Amino acid sequence: MTPQVQLVHVFPAEPGGGNPAPIVVDADDMSDHDMQAVARSYGHESGFVLSAPPGADHDYELRFWVPDHEMSMCGHATVGAVWLLDRLGRLPGGEVRLLTRSGAVTARTTDDGAEVTQPSGQLEPVADDAVPAILDTLRITAADLAPQPIRNARTSRVKTLVPVADVSVLDGLRPDFDRVHQVCDLIASTGLYPYAPSDPTRQVFDARQFPRSSGYPEDAATGIAAAALAFGLLAQGSVAPDSRPIHIRQGRAMGRPSEIAVRFILRAGAVDGVWLGGKVTGERG
C-alpha cells in the first residue's frame, strides 16, 4: 500500500527547529512492514493512527516506529499526531483518550500545538561500576559532571539522566556512537540523556539524547526523556512540585533547536504525572 504520510515538526524553538515526525492518520490497513518502511524512508520516529479496538474506552490507538524497530511510546509523535488530527477535524473535542503499547494517555490541543500526559516517573541509581563506561562513551571525565547522581528514569521508557557541569560541556559532547548501544544494554536503558541547567530560576534546562538503537545517532527533541528528566530534577530539588512549566531545550547541537514544556499534574497537593507538550508546525490538511 502507499500510505498518505504528512510530515509535522514538533517542539520547534525557531524556524528549522524541532523534531520531524511523519504521521499517517488512517493506518488501520498497514502491516508492521508497511509502518517500518515509512520510518526507514523518512529516517525519523513515525506515528500511525488506528481506530480504537472495539469496546475500548479510547478514541484512537497509536503505534510508533523508528527505522530499526517499533517503540511502545513516542512523545513527540503523539503530540504531532494530536495536532494533525485536530487540523483535519478528526478530534472529538476537548481531551482525547489514546491507547499506546505503553498504556493509555490523555491528550489535548493547545494554542499552537498539543500536549499529552505521562505517568509519575520512576527513578533508580545507576550502579557505580557502570559510570566509567558511561563517561567513556560520552568521552568526558568525572570532572565534567555536576554533583547530582546519574540516574535511570522512566515514565514510558527508561532514559539515563547524566548531569553535566554546564551547557558548554553539553554542547561539546562528541560521543563514541559505536558504544552507545553497548552501554545502554549494560545499564538497561534506551538512551543517554545528558543535561545541564541553563536558567535554573526560570526552570530552563538543556539536554541531548543519544538513543540506544533507533537508526540515527542523536534526537532533536525527546518528549519521553524530557518527562523523565522532570522527575529527576524534582527528586534532586532542582524544580518545585508545582504547575509552573519546566522548559527542556534540545537539538541545538544538531542545528534543530527545540523546546519541550513539562508541567506537573497535581492532585490533592501531590505530583501525579505530567503534561508534556509544545509547539507543532506543518501542512494543514
- The C-alpha cell of 15 is what? 524556524
User: Could you tell me which of 65, 109, 68 has the C-alpha nearest to residue 87?
Assistant: 109
285 pLDDT above the threshold of 90:
no
Longest Cα–Cα distance in the chain: 55
At what angle are helices 131-138 and 177-187 packed, to 10 degrees?
Answer: 160
Q: Kindly report the CA angle at 22 between 281 and 246, in degrees rounded to 5? A: 50
pLDDT tens-digit map of 155-203: 999 999 999 999 999 999 999 999 999 999 999 999 999 999 999 999 9
What is the pLDDT of the chain when averaged over all its residues? 94
Domains and CATH numbers, the chain: 6-117 (3.10.310.10), 122-276 (3.10.310.10)
What percent of the chain has a predicted confidence (pLDDT) above 90?
Answer: 91
The DSSP bridge partners found for residue 280 are: 10
pLDDT tens-digit map of 115-130: 999 999 999 999 999 9
